[in-house]
Structure 1
C-alpha cells in the first residue's frame, strides 16, 4: 500500500508542475503584441484544470492515509 501512495504523491507533484507550466505559458501567450489570445486562454484553463485535479488526488491520498491510520489504532 505504501508504494501506491508514494506513486500517487509523485504523480500529483508532477501534475502540479505541468499545470504551473501551462499557466505560465498561457500568461506568456496573453502578452501584448501576440496574436495567440485563444491559445493563451486555453492554456490557462488547462493549467487550472490540471492543478485542480492534482490537488484532488493529493486530498484523496491524505484522506486514505488518515483512514488507514485510524483503522490501525
Structure 2
C-alpha cells in the first residue's frame, strides 16, 4: 500500500492523510474562504485577483462543493 495519493483538487502527489487534500490546496482553500467571508458578494475574478489564486483552481473548489456560485457571486458552504 502506497503512503502517497493524489490531491483531489490539484492532482499533485502528496502524503496520505484523512483530508484528501494537499497542504497547498488547504492553504488556498482557507485563503479563499477568508476572502469570501470578508467580502460576501465577490465575483470569481475579484477573488482571484485579491488572493492570487488562479480562477481554474477556485472553480475546482466550486465543483468540489466547497463554495457556491450564486448569480455570479460566491457563497461559503462549509
TM-score grouping bracket, smaller chain normalisation: 0.3 to 0.5
Please state which structure has a larger fraction of its residues in strand.
2
Structure with more contact order per residue of length (Cα contacts < 8 Å, sep ≥ 6): 1
Please state which structure has a larger fraction of its residues in helix.
1
Q: TM-score, normalised by structure 2?
A: 0.31
Q: TM-score, normalised by structure 1?
A: 0.32
Q: Which has the greater radius of gyration?
A: 1
